[in-house]
Amino acid sequence: MIELLSCDLFGKRVMKKNCKIELEDSSGNVFADLDLDHPEGLLTRVQLGHSIGMILKKRNLKQREIGQLLRIKQPKVSNLINGRYTLFSQKRLLGFLNKLNHKVVVKSPSRRRGEKPQEVVLA
């Protein structure tokens, strides 16, 4: 339990001395915590999309250049840049990584106790 000096209740900031918020531990997958359908797939798409976003940011490309490179139209580029990764399929995101000249390797080692069920690693 955390006590705050002020709270945001329904979009309005309220000053209270004893504003209490209950916290719970995350499973490591926010989509599972929110009880969304197919949380593992959503997490994978977000991890892939985030990696793509980091590559694009590092290259300092303009949206037009990104669209040409990935062969997508401006609204899709905007979705990608603004983190709307779940609007893209895993297959499409993997294709973007290929177009960005990144090798994609899928490994399936056994998980150690307490280790996250999945992760995306770009080397």
Whole-model pTM over 0.75: no
Residue 21 has a pLDDT of 67
Q: How confident is the model at residue 118 (pLDDT cuts 50, 70, 90)?
A: low
Question: Which is more confidently placed, 69 or 19?
Answer: 69
- Tens of pLDDT, residues 29-71: 888 888 999 988 999 899 999 999 999 999 999 999 999 999 9
Give the domains, in start order, of the chain with CATH numbers: 1-36 (no CATH), 38-99 (1.10.260.40)
Distance of CA 100 to CAs 64, 65, 69, 97, Å? Answer: 15, 12, 8, 5
Query: 12-21 and 2-9 as β-strands: parallel, antiparallel, unpaired?
Result: antiparallel
Q: Are 86 and 31 in contact (CB under 8 A)?
A: no
